[in-house]
Amino acid sequence: MPLYHSKTQTYSVIAGSGSYLPTRIIKNSDFLNHTFYDQAGRKLEQSNEEIIRKFTEITGIFERRYVTHDLVTSDIAFFAAEAAIQDSGINMEELDYIIVAHNFGDILENNRRSDLVPALASRVKFRLGIKNSNTVCYDLPFGCAGWLQGIIQGDLYIRSGEAKNILVIGAETLSRVTDAHDRDCMLFADGAGAVVLQARESTLPTGIVSHSCRSYAEQALVLKMGESNYPAHPSAEQLVLKMQGRTLYEHALKAVPAVIKETMDKVKLPIENMKMLLIHQANRKMDEAILKRLYQAFGLTELPENIMPLTVETLGNSSVATLPTLYDLVRKGQLPGYTIKPGDNLVFASVGAGVNVNSIVYRVPE
């Protein structure tokens, strides 16, 4: 990575972060009373104990968080946003953009239909009490890769001179859209995370130094909304999240390491200089396989310790909230064994419905 430029350039740095972890802890044992069916509507023959045992072995998930019945996605997005703004110390009236990554809008506990108007970003601005009409709000549905795509868009705004301060939020309540009769429902969780991106002038590369993104339309339907596995489910009233897990897994193992390597190669970052990989927490097996493939792409077979912090064991897959929550927890010293110091090279990566894959290299400001 080049150290200096001949002149000052504008970079995007994270000025503050915040997250909201829902208070309802749902353990794997809470699914013992579920009745699971396959996609053909046939009841699974295995006992729930066996289904849950295999699920835990593969995914590494032991528990996850759900929102309480009184909260919706824009509520928890506001909680995370408020924390990030306070952490950054900025005047929220100076925000140029509020970008909220999500995929399902606000969904009430007792009326599980997506509510997308007005935009969740507008609802967050209203809750924050921001009066500045120049603070532009919009939502970004981009699958689980949405928050990182919001970061990429924010970086482009800042580098172009269009903005100086941008709030990027990832929030989701997947517990409201999963199929309780599909064992995949145990993967998903709720949560929210946010960061404030800020412009910084520097002759030293700092903050976001490179990014890459790919959309694989041939895999567009591996994650989609569809009918419940339960034959008698009133599917006309509510569609639920459906996933072709094996297909997505196989595609991610090829696409994600390639996109990460491309992002690192743009700034000639050797993998030995990567301090940490912050990756979307889909499930432990997939993330560990992606990490192994990434090192193989650089010609290495031995993996260093404490290179990829995981929260999936206790927080599940909270979609767009996973990465900002993970970053906030690591940055604030809440994940034992992981610390972030000035000068560290962090790599972020995510994959989700679309299929969309993206990555950034972030150099922690000195």
Give per-residue pLDDT as tens, 198-243.
999 998 899 999 999 999 988 888 888 888 888 776 555 678 888 8
Task: Place 52 in a pLDDT band, splitting at 50, 70 and 90.
Answer: very high
Task: Place 104 in a pLDDT band, splitting at 50, 70 and 90.
Answer: very high
Output the CA–CA distances (angstroms, integers) from residue 363 to 26, 54, 56, 346, 357, in the order listed. Answer: 36, 39, 35, 6, 20
Q: Taking Cα atoms as reference points, which of 313, 319, 356 lies closest to residue 62?
A: 313
Tell me the pLDDT of the chain averaged across its residues. Answer: 93
Query: Model confidence over 54-64: pLDDT tens digits?
Result: 999 999 999 99
Angstrom distance (rounded) from CA 327 to CA 340? 9
pLDDT at 84 over 90: yes
Q: What is the pTM of this model?
A: 0.94
pLDDT for 190 equals 98
Which residues are within 8 A (CB) of 25 and not within 5 positions of it... i.e. 6 or more apart? 63, 64, 65
Q: Which two tokens stand for residue 258?
A: 């390639």
Task: Place 354 in a pLDDT band, splitting at 50, 70 and 90.
Answer: confident
Angstrom distance (rounded) from CA 107 to CA 211? 32
| % the chain with pLDDT above 90 | 82
Domains with residue ranges and CATH for the chain: 9-202 (3.40.47.10), 207-363 (3.40.47.10)
Output the CA–CA distances (angstroms, integers) from residue 252 to 105, 209, 211, 222, 227, in the order listed. Answer: 26, 24, 18, 11, 25
| Lowest-confidence region among 1-10, 109-118, 236-245, 341-350 | 1-10
Output the CA–CA distances (angstroms, integers) from residue 69 to 32, 72, 118, 245, 321, in the order listed. Answer: 21, 8, 21, 29, 19
pLDDT at 294 over 70: yes
Calculate mean pLDDT across residues 291-313: 94
Calculate mean pLDDT across residues 322-340: 96
Output the CA–CA distances (angstroms, integers) from residue 37 to 181, 246, 260, 302, in the order listed. Answer: 6, 17, 36, 40
pLDDT at 4 over 70: no
Residue 3 vs residue 13, higher pLDDT:
13
Angstrom distance (rounded) from CA 87 to CA 93? 15
